[in-house]
A and B are shown apart, each in its own frame.
Chain A
Amino acid sequence: MELCDLSALEMTRLLRNKKASAVEILESCLQRIGQVDGRSSKLDQKTEEADKQHVHSFITVTDDLAFAQAHAVDDALAAGKDPGPLAGVPFSVKDIFCVKDTPSTAASRILANFKAPYTATPVERMQAAGAVMIGKVNLDEFTYGSSTESSAFQPSTRNPWHTGRVPGGSSGGSTASVGANEVPLSLGTDTAGSIRQPAAFCGVVGVKPTYGRVSRYGLIAFASSLDCPGPVARTVSDAAAMLQVIAGADEHDSTAAAVPVSDYMTNLEKGVKGMHIGLSPDYFRITFPDPRTGEFQQQPLPKEIEASVRHAADVLASLGAEIIEDVPMPNTRFGIPAYFVVSRVEAASNLHRYDGVKYGLRTKQPYTDLRQMYKISRNEGFGLQPKLRILMGMYVSAAQYSEQYYQRALRVRTMIRRDFEAAFDPQGKYRLDALLTPTTPTTAFEMDAVYGDSVLMQYADQLTVPANHAGIPGISLPGGLDGEELPIGIQLLGADYTEDKLFRIGRAYEQATAQESWRKVLPRVLR
């Protein structure tokens, strides 16, 4: 066991007890990156056979900056000052956040040369808490995907449990870097499941906070009404400690809610006795279009995934929770079709700013006027997935189609929200504290198996996207391994701003299953 294998809170304890320095912890993490990450992901780089054994989480390792921050933490401790609640804890940042003076690429050619002039609020809060940013990690281009394969920076990230499998996405670099013990914490974003789905695939904890709980200032926008920054960690306690630091109102983001942040750490160990935890049949089946015929099929989930969720329910029941079966969530299946419309309209709007004028790529080819310069620059700069989202967004929001598509999708969004309101209503029939579901319909799929089929790829988010439509918080927890030793994720969903309850339930489950055999199995890259 190396320093980098410890949890974030264990690192802070060692540091405060003067049993390790921030520099030593950083060196340990950098050494692990050197062992498992392989070469950094870059533009115009092809994946070679040797790359397929490595994780490739990072686009940029900011080791000089990290050493400066780590020395500052050690100096503060030596001077008897409090360096902050996450002092000396290394963390990675999904490269969709602006961090001053570092490349902030969104994994896109169009921003490959962009250096942010300011730092995103969640990153700034982590640094103010003493955490040490170690680098920027890979993602699907502009977060558009569920496997991290669409990044313009290759080799794209691979799953630490099996490097032939995807890490999930779009926060695949975040979850792989945490899963491979390169860092104990990472900052990701979740628009349809982009923290929770890769967390499930990489066997780590991923939190999508309530919309507005964490500021989006400095986050390169995808779908502004859905995007949520959130923590990736290996333990529930670490995730809670990180959210504690990054949550809260922000004068730079009017959608960051001025709702007091609960004390997550104090409530963490209070257990689940008397809590109402629901199970819904609508989360144990998936509906998706057949890739060949386009006809919709409904299938039960793989047995191993359903068994993990039911086992978690049994564990929580044994700890005193009341399990409520058959909670209806009838609009779950419409989450993806509605998302196809809402997210594309918002993405198209957000992507118009990339025009080769103020920042980012401007073509070197000759052009005759401004409009031609826009077209050539955008064609060169954007990969296929951003182009697809722009085109769909423009189509479904066009004046003649808006009522049929966009306005209808927004009403379906209301229906999805109402499913949750009914389930969590304290005076209602179910009075749930949380809904317990699988995180994903499958475990990590093979690299290249789904990439290119934009419809099937999107359905990987079927069980996570309803929370984004509704704005509610969700957390994915490691819930076991399948027959191929790939992680299975279980998900807890709660009412607005009830992250404290989700952490409590997650922590109780984590403690109660600490001795189960699957928890002793390490990701393949660490064996």
Chain B
Amino acid sequence: MSDQITPEIFEHLVDLAALELDETQAEYLRKQLNNQLKAIHELEAIPIDASLPASLHGVPFEAAQSAAPRADEWKPSPHVKDILSQAPELEDGYIVVPDIPHTTLK
């Protein structure tokens, strides 16, 4: 079977994933992706009734089993300083980022 994820598709995925890979990494990862897809194709052999619902999780979530939503009230976080101290670049309490590229939508 030929590789389903071609170098062109792979390059597109890498860009979408906001990654930048060297050649050795790219070769390994594309090969592994194609191997995994071969395993995934086993699913296609399963007869599935069109009415079968999808399960986003295993255990059913009944209303009685879920915590009631909190009141929508603003509360100050006790951890502001700790959280901001994790930012790689900070200025006057603001997180600094480089220029944001702009794309003109067609």
> A258-B66, A367-B98 are contacts. A211–B18 as well, Cβ < 8 Å?
no
Q: What is the chain A residue whose CB lies nearest that of B5?
A: A395
Given the known interface contacts A257-B65, A341-B40, A371-B101, the answer about A414 and B55 at a Cβ–Cβ threshold of 8 Å is yes
Q: For the complex, what is the distance from the CA of A131 to the CA of B89, rounded to whole Å?
A: 37
Given contacts A249-B67, A340-B36, contact A211 B29 (CB under 8 A): no
Number of interface residues of B (CB under 8 A): 56
CB distance from A290 to the nearest CB of B (A): 10
Chain A 354-382 interface 0/1 with B at a Cβ cutoff of 8 Å (1 = within): 01111111100001111111111011001
Q: Check if B16 is an interface residue, CB within 8 A of chain A.
A: yes
Q: Per-residue CB proximity of B67-95 to A under 8 Å, as 1/0?
A: 10110000000010011001111000001
Asked if A257 and B54 make an inter-chain contact with CB atoms under 8 angstroms apart, the answer reads no
Closest to B89 in A: A362
- Whether the pair B100, A338 counts as a contact (CB closer than 8 A) is no
A523 to B18 CA separation, bound complex (whole angstroms): 45
Q: Mark A247-268, 1 if CB is under 8 A from B, else 0.
A: 0011101111111000000000
Contact check, B98 vs A340: say whether CB atoms are below 8 A apart.
no
**In the bound complex, do residue A411 and residue B48 qualify as a contact, i.e. CB atoms below 8 Å apart?**
yes
Contact of B25 among A255, A384, A469 (CB under 8 A): A384
Instruction: Please pick, from A254, A348, A408, the residue contacting B66 in the complex, using a CB distance under 8 A.
Output: A254
Segment at the interface with B among A112-120, A169-177, A443-451: A112-120
Verify A258–B18 contact, CB threshold 8 A.
no
In the complex, how many angstroms separate the beta carbon of A345 from the nearest chain B beta carbon?
Answer: 11
Q: A379-B19, A411-B52 are in contact. Are A369 and B35 (CB under 8 A)?
A: no
Residue of B nearest to A459 (CB): B39
Quick check: which of A68-76, A186-194, A301-309, A385-393 contacts chain B, the rest being far away? A385-393
Given A212-B61, A372-B98, 20 more contacts at CB 8 Å?
A114-B86, A118-B82, A255-B57, A341-B40, A341-B43, A358-B87, A368-B99, A371-B18, A378-B17, A382-B19, A384-B29, A388-B32, A388-B33, A391-B10, A391-B14, A407-B54, A409-B40, A412-B46, A455-B38, A496-B59
The one of B19, B54, B67, B99 in contact with A375, judged by C-beta atoms closer than 8 angstroms, is B19
Question: What are the residues of chain A within 8 A of B95 when measuring CB–CB?
Answer: 357-358
Check A11 for interface membership: any CB of B closer than 8 A. no
Complex Cα distance, B82 from A468, in Å, reads 34
Residue B20 at the A interface, CB < 8 A? Answer: yes
Residues of A within 8 A of B23 (CB): none
Q: Does A289 contact B (CB under 8 A)?
A: yes
Which residue of the partner chain B has the closest CB to A346? Answer: B56
Chain A interface residue count, CB cutoff 8 Å, equals 83
A369 to B29, CA, bound (A): 26
In the complex, how many angstroms separate the beta carbon of B26 from the nearest chain A beta carbon?
10
Check B40–A379 contact: CB distance below 8 A: no
Q: How far is the CB of A294 from chain B (nearest CB, A)?
A: 5
Q: Taking CB as reference atom, which chain B residue is nearest A406? A: B54
**Which residues of chain A come closer than 8 Å to B41, judged between CB atoms?**
337
Q: Mark out the residues of chain A between 218 and 233 whose CB falls within 8 Å of any chain B CB in the assembled complex.
A: 225
Whether, in the assembled complex, B42 has its beta carbon less than 8 Å from a beta carbon of chain A, the answer is: yes
Contact: B65 with A259, CB < 8 Å?
yes
Indicate whether A410 reaches chain B with its CB closer than 8 angstroms.
yes
CA distance A468 to B58 in the complex (A): 7
B1 — which chain A residues lie within 8 A by C-beta?
A: 294
> Given contacts A394-B17, A454-B35, is CB(A117)–CB(B87) below 8 Å?
no
Q: Whole-angstrom distance between the alpha carbons of A391 and B34 in the complex?
A: 11
Of chain A, the residue at the smallest CB distance from B59 is: A471
Q: How far is the CB of A369 from chain B (nearest CB, A)?
A: 5
Out of B29, B64, B79, B89, which one reaches A391, CB within 8 Å? B29
Interface centre among B9, B48, B53, B64 (most CB of A within 10 A): B48
| Contact A338–B43 (Cβ < 8 Å) | yes
Interchain CB contact under 8 A, A413 and B54: yes
Task: Knowing A378-B18, A391-B17, say if A414 contacts B98 (CB, 8 Å).
Answer: no
B39 to chain A, nearest CB (A): 5
The 10 closest A-B pairs by CB, nearest first: A471-B58, A410-B54, A117-B82, A471-B59, A362-B88, A359-B86, A375-B20, A117-B79, A225-B57, A470-B58
